[in-house]
Amino acid sequence: SMSVAELARAWVEQYSKSDRDRDDNFFALMDFERDLREEDADRAIDLILAILDIETNPVLLSMLAAGPLEDVISMTSIDRIEREAKVNKRFHDLLGGVWYFRAPEELKVRLDALIGDNRW
């Protein structure tokens, strides 16, 4: 029932904590992320964009790229990802931290074209 902006702040707060300082809220957030990407990829992308709007820490951004963004990329979400990358430079840059070697060939081709030499 939290807004996307509230979820973004909660994500930053939870992922900023050291492993030993994480609590049940961290694991609840992880479960929520999984459910969101499986049931509502657009809202998952909205959350990623909201986090990107408030966070600049390279460590957290690498976790965002290698976690939620990497996990939400699929043939059903690629159109939205391409649209967002065209209008949002930070989002486009974030895609450089995504690994997609095991993706289907059609998806790899589209990501290669989108990311180009922008790999981290």
Instruction: Determine the straight-line distance between the first and last CA of the chain, rounded to whole angstroms.
Output: 35
pLDDT in tens, 45-60: 999 999 999 999 999 9
Query: Strand, coil or helix: what is 118?
Result: coil
Burial 39-57 (b: 16+ CB within 10 A, else e): eebeebbbbbbbbbeebee
Burial 73-92 (b: 16+ CB within 10 A, else e): beeebbebbeebbeeeeebb
pLDDT in tens, 55-98: 999 999 999 999 999 999 999 999 999 999 999 999 999 999 99
